[in-house]
Amino acid sequence: MTRATRTKRPTRRSRTVKPADIPTAGTGQRIWVLDVPFKAPAAGARYYAGIKSYAYVGATLPATLTVFASKPYSYQRWVEDNLNGTHSSGATASPKTPRVEQIDAAKAIARAAHAGWRGFFLADDPGLGKTGSAILGAKAALKILGGNTILITVDRPAAITIAAWRDSIAAFGDGGHRWLIISPDQLKKLLARNGQPKHHFDVIINDEAQQFRHLSAQRTQYQRRVAKLSAPAGKAPFVITLTATPGHHPGEYTYLSSLLAQIHQDPPAEWSNLGAKLVALGLPLTPGWDSGKWAWNEDAKASPVLQNEAVTRVRQWMTAARPPVMLHRDAPWGPAPIDGLPVDFTPEQWASYHQEWGDFQREMRLARSGNDTARGRAALMRFRQKAGMLRAAQTAGLVAAHVGRGYQVLVAVELVTTAADPVAEHLERLEIPVARIYGGGADLEAERLRFQRGDAHVVVFNTASAINLQANELMADGSRATSAQRIGIFHQPRYSGIQARQTIGRAHRDYQVCPWSLLYAAGTVEETAAKIMVDRLVVTSNSVDGDTGALHKIAALFGADWLPDSTLEP
- Of 84, 31, 87, 29, nearest to 54 by C-alpha is 31
Query: Based on the domain organization, do 233 and 166 belong to the same domain?
Result: yes
Q: Is the sign of the CA dihedral 298, 299, 305, 309 positive or negative?
A: negative
What CATH number has the domain bearing residue 513? 3.40.50.300
- pTM: predicted TM-score of the whole model, two decimal places: 0.84
The CA distance from 13 to 533, in Å, is 61
DSSP β-ladder status, 46-48 and 53-58: antiparallel
Query: Based on the domain organization, do 320 and 389 belong to the same domain?
Result: no
The DSSP output letter for 184 is G
Mean pLDDT (the chain, rounded) = 90
Whole-number Cα distances in Å, 287 to 278, 391, 543: 11, 37, 20
Query: Based on the domain organization, do 323 and 345 belong to the same domain?
Result: no
The CA distance from 403 to 450, in Å, is 15
Residue 9 located in a structural domain: no
The SS3 of residue 204 is: strand
Give the pLDDT of residue 367.
75
Query: Based on the domain organization, do 374 and 485 belong to the same domain?
Result: yes
**Cβ atoms of residues 419 and 366 within 8 Å:** no
Give the pLDDT of residue 376.
60
The DSSP output letter for 413 is -
Residue 262 located in a structural domain: yes
Residue 170 located in a structural domain: yes
Kindly report whether the peptide bond that precedes residue 323 is cis, defined as omega within 30 degrees of 0.
yes
Residue 373 located in a structural domain: yes
Query: Based on the domain organization, do 234 and 364 belong to the same domain?
Result: no
User: Domain range holding 61?
Assistant: 30-70
Query: Based on the domain organization, do 255 and 368 belong to the same domain?
Result: no
End residue of a domain, out of 295, 327, 359: 327
Amino acid making up residue 2? T
Contacts of residues 56-65 at CB distance under 8 Å and 24 or more positions apart, as own/partner, are 56/31, 56/32, 57/23, 57/24, 57/25, 57/26, 57/29, 57/30, 57/31, 57/32, 58/29, 58/30, 58/32, 59/28, 59/29, 59/30, 61/32, 65/32, 65/34
Query: Based on the domain organization, do 305 and 388 belong to the same domain?
Result: no
**Cβ atoms of residues 529 and 388 within 8 Å:** no
Give the pLDDT of residue 160.
87
Helix axes 158-172, 444-452, angle to 10 degrees: 60
Query: Based on the domain organization, do 353 and 483 belong to the same domain?
Result: yes
Vertex 48, ends 225 and 32: CA angle to 5°? 95
Query: Based on the domain organization, do 258 and 141 belong to the same domain?
Result: yes
Percent of the chain topping pLDDT 70: 92
Per the structure, how many domains does the chain have? 3
The SS3 of residue 416 is: helix
Give pLDDT < 70 ranges for the chain: 1-19, 368-376, 441, 555-556, 558-570
Query: Based on the domain organization, do 166 and 306 belong to the same domain?
Result: yes
Query: Based on the domain organization, do 300 and 362 belong to the same domain?
Result: no
The SS3 of residue 422 is: helix
The CA distance from 248 to 253, in Å, is 9
Give the pLDDT of residue 17.
42
Task: Tell me how long the chain is.
Answer: 570
DSSP H helices in 405-544: 421-429, 444-452, 497-504, 525-543
Residue 113 located in a structural domain: yes
Query: Based on the domain organization, do 433 and 524 belong to the same domain?
Result: yes
Residue 34 located in a structural domain: yes
Residue 93 located in a structural domain: no
Kindly report whether the peptide bond that precedes residue 157 is cis, defined as omega within 30 degrees of 0.
yes
End residue of a domain, out of 302, 327, 352: 327
Residue 78 located in a structural domain: no
What CATH number has the domain bearing residue 234? 3.40.50.10810
- Of 108, 121, 124, nearest to 547 by C-alpha is 124
**Cβ atoms of residues 124 and 244 within 8 Å:** yes
Give the pLDDT of residue 19.
62
Vertex 468, ends 70 and 470: CA angle to 5°? 145
The CA distance from 488 to 357, in Å, is 30
Give the pLDDT of residue 567.
37
Q: What is the DSSP string of 291-339?
A: TT-EEE-HHHHT-HHHHHHHHHHHHHHHHTSSS-SEE----TT-PPPEE
End residue of a domain, out of 70, 92, 120: 70
The DSSP output letter for 66 is G
Backbone φ, ψ for residue 206 (5° rounding): -100, 100
Give the pLDDT of residue 346.
92
